[in-house]
Amino acid sequence: MDRRRFLQLSTVSILSLTFAPGLLKQSFGASKLDEELQKRLGVSLSQIKESPEVKLQAPTIAESGANVPVSVESDIPVDKVDSVWIFVDNNPVPWITDIKLSPMNGRVYFATRIKMGQTSNVRAILKMKDGSYLMATKEVKVTVGGCG
């Protein structure tokens, strides 16, 4: 092997070693969320559209992942909404909770506190009565994880 060929090969291997773990982890995380969405809602992430009508409130930085307050609100009439779902992409179990709404709720509002293992996207998904889905996403940076 001449010197030039050796250098080329080593560059390629170093690059692949540097980037491969990140790539693997990313695709694994996405598929886990997708799996959970398929199991719980029967749709994949690409079929759910982001909507400014869903308002998700969560801290930008959470000091403790054990207790992260989130709330979901919307001005969409409550009789058009079936349920509200909360997912966290990078948690061991991405599904956190869901709440079924009724006209007796008066409006779309749901607040709770969740656990987060690490920095991740938090997603609030509204399941509409017509079978469509609306979503709001927010990244929450976690300093100390709360999933053991």
**Would you tell me which residues interact with another protein (CB under 8 A)?**
66-69, 71, 88, 91-93, 95-107, 109-115, 146-148
Q: Cα torsion at 16, 17, 18, 21 (round to 10°)?
A: 100
Shortest spacing between CB 130 and another protein, in angstroms: 20
26 vs 64, beta carbon nearer another protein: 64
Shortest spacing between CB 99 and another protein, in angstroms: 5
Query: What length is written for the chain?
Result: 148
Is 100 in contact with 128 (CB distance < 8 Å)? no
15 vs 144, beta carbon nearer another protein: 144
1 vs 61, beta carbon nearer another protein: 61
Shortest spacing between CB 3 and another protein, in angstroms: 50
| Dist. CA 86–CA 111, nearest whole Å | 10
| Dist. CA 134–CA 49, nearest whole Å | 5
